[in-house]
Structure 1
Amino acid sequence: MSAPSKVTIGDVARHAGVSKGTVSLAYSGKRPVSEETRQRIFSAAAELNWTASHRARALATARTGAIGLVMARDPEVLATDAFFSKFLSGCERVLAEHDMGLMLHAVTTAEAEHLVYERLAAGRADGVILLDVEIDDPRFALVQRLGLPAVVLSAHEPTRGETAGLPTVFSDDSPAITELVALMAEAGHTRIAHVAGPAHYIHGRIRQEAFSAAMRKRGLDDSLVIEGDFTASSGRDATAQLLDLPQPPTAILFANDMMAIAGLSLARSRGVRVPEDLSLSGYDDSELSAHLSPALTTVSTGAVQRGQLAVTTLLAALAGEDPGAVLADHTTVLPRDSIAPPPRP
């Protein structure tokens, strides 16, 4: 007996407490859905007197075998930031094991990003990974409205409702920033500056808040903060502003390696010695950071492992599981030669 026309796959999904994609998976059998979830879906369908129509069955079997990743970043950052290439490598390792692929889109506007998610939801991808999470990120509601399964990558453990119930892979960036401040302060620095990432990104805000908290805890001035945008040019400009102060800092903590490397270059062009006159640290452990002179103190984020964990978590969600919030515990400070005691007065 066919279901009343007003009952849809979305009704079944809501009644069973799963996504439309999970309902499709349960009927297609193309990827695993837990038996408990499958039975819950079938029971919901029976209660609503719903059976998969020809169109719904076609949708259920039309899995793409692809995961989407949309990067709304300055092209310069995508081309040079060490995190992205390592993260993608981790994603591909897991996807290859499942005979799946990654659909990568680079966009420069919010409107273009929105359109990409709509196309992915229309059957071009089975789910998406949400990077560069913003405060009150509008993508959470968007992917849920589109019925597009997603996993969120964040820089702290989400509070209740923060990621709208989407599974989240999170790191804790605060301890690494606290440790970098400690390395500088214990070397004797009191005027420490921070070149931050954009404050509308969760990881930019978390790192800046951690810097301020660590400085205040030590009784140090936390006001020397300039917001960059993760590009080399912003790192260079911020370093110039700091060195032009009547009392310039003797140490600068940068929110990523690219800004730190540009800052090191700018300092040297002015005859400022690193680390004898100015100590520096970065974040993300780019391939170049260990081979600079001096080698750059930085933070390894375990980007490959995070990529693997993001895909594994998304696949679990696609299989009808509820992964919740998963800790990516791979963040490690790498002390090198770019931090030394400040110059004597």
Structure 2
Amino acid sequence: MARRPTIKDIARRAGVSESAVSFALNDRPGVSRDTRARIRGVAEELGWQPNSAARALSGERAGAVGLVLARPAHTLGAESFFLRLVSGIQEALSAAGTALLFQVVEDIDAECAVHRRWWAERRVDGVLVVDPRTDDPRPALLAELGLPAVTVGEPAPAPGAAHAGTPSPALSAIRADDAGAMAQVLDHLHGLGHRRIVHVAGLPALAHTARRIDSLRAEAARRGLGPDRVRSVVTDYSDAQGAAATRRVLAEPRPPTALVYDNDVMAVAGRAVAAELGIPVPAGLSIVAWDDSALCRVTHPPLTALVRDTAGFGRLAAEELLAVVAGRPPGVRESELPRLEPRESTAPPPAHTDS
């Protein structure tokens, strides 16, 4: 295995002391301009790179931020949301010369253990926190560690907070307007004449799932529709559970005329179930996907979906974290409101359906 070049190698090749090399490579006074240029030229020629672990031990930044996903692994492979989110994060970090340390774990306890290890090893300068929970141990842990962090998505209320948009003192947040998005969906379906709607939601422990369920209930009540007509059922975001939930609700004596799915994968799975049961879309059932993707656009018929810049969401989160690491106080930043794009999967309910 090739040996990595060291400061001693650079000093020997340049004919200077190791301290002179250290001064030159760290932009410190103590060497002339010509000597500094010669040392840097030799370092480049040898392919020398700074040792990030040594820099961290000396109090310098690690030059990396962390992202841990505590999700069932089988749900990540099918869902495009995280791929687009990470692409946006990586775009912002690459422009700043910062690396992304990424890990997938089984649960939130394992994620907390990773954060503690990264902090102890000084592996990262800060972390991005995804999937805020309704009862989330991570904000308190990160505050205790003093590790800069940004929550990707509006956090659940901190203890004693007046509303859900109040971040932990140690965390910034990128807020997604789930209530505004749900209002668009209900406006569309209610305007078409739908009065029996089921929301096939994601993991119930996630803060954004709880917000979407609450928003659906509030928007339905505002239109005079009770829980007997508009309600949510929860899943793990997978196509299997999305399909199973679809079968259950469509087998009810008074099935829904419209289904709203929390991601594209479940919406496509639900469309397949409707076809299997002989229910035409949209003539017999309307379908809306919360997140737009290529899946929604190539399915027949193309699915009505909420369109948002997921990569831009990731870029905004990464930029906020870099700013917090640089010393800016934490705060809440608003992401762009998703836009509902009606396509061929939504239409008025069948004429014989009761109101």
Q: CA deviation at 1:59?
A: 3.1
| Counterpart residue number, 2:109 | 111
- Describe how 1:26-175 pairs up with structure 2 within 5 A: 59-122=57-120, 123-155=122-154, 159=161, 162-165=166-169, 166-175=171-180
- Which amino acid counterpart does residue 313 of structure 2 have in structure 1? R
CA distance in 1, matches of 2:127, 2:56: 21
CA distance in 1, matches of 2:27, 2:176: 33
| Counterpart residue number, 1:306 | 313
Deviations 1:13-45 (A, max 9, x none): xxxxxxxxxxxxxxx999xxxxxxxxxxxxxxx
Q: CA deviation at 1:60?
A: 4.5
| Counterpart residue number, 1:207 | 212
CA distance in 1, matches of 2:139, 2:273: 40
- Residues 82 and 287 in structure 1, CA contact (< 8 A), matched pair in contact too: no
Q: CA deviation at 1:209?
A: 1.0
- Which amino acid counterpart does residue 222 of structure 1 have in structure 2? P
Which of 252, 265, 276 is the aligned partner of 1:258? Answer: 265
What root-mean-square deviation, in Å, do the aligned CA atoms of Structure 1 and Structure 2 show? 2.2
| Counterpart residue number, 1:177 | 182
CA distance in 2, matches of 1:341, 1:300: 22
- Which amino acid counterpart does residue 152 of structure 2 have in structure 1? L
| Counterpart residue number, 1:25 | none
CA distance in 2, matches of 1:249, 1:340: 14
Q: How many residues align?
A: 293
Deviations 1:139-173 (A, max 9, x none): 00111222211111224796558432111111111
| Counterpart residue number, 1:53 | none
| Counterpart residue number, 1:191 | 196
CA distance in 2, matches of 1:185, 1:196: 19
CA distance in 1, matches of 2:337, 2:186: 19
- Which amino acid counterpart does residue 90 of structure 2 have in structure 1? E
- Structure 2 residue runs of 5 or longer lacking an equivalent are 1-25, 29-53
Structure 2 vs 1, CA of residues 155 and 339 (structure 1 numbering), >3 Å: closer, same or farther? farther
TM-score of the two chains, using structure 2 as the length reference: 0.78
CA distance in 2, matches of 1:87, 1:29: 36
Identity %: 37
Deviations 1:256-293 (A, max 9, x none): 11111111111111111111100010111122111111
Deviations 1:212-241 (A, max 9, x none): 111111112334321112111111011011
CA distance in 2, matches of 1:260, 1:285: 10
- Residues 155 and 167 in structure 2, CA contact (< 8 A), matched pair in contact too: no
| Counterpart residue number, 2:12 | none
Larger Rg: 2
| Counterpart residue number, 1:234 | 241
TM-score of the two chains, using structure 1 as the length reference: 0.80
Which of 319, 329, 341 is the aligned partner of 2:336? Answer: 329
Q: CA deviation at 1:323?
A: 4.1
Which of 258, 276, 297 is the aligned partner of 1:269? Answer: 276
- Structure 1 residue runs of 5 or longer lacking an equivalent are 1-27, 31-55
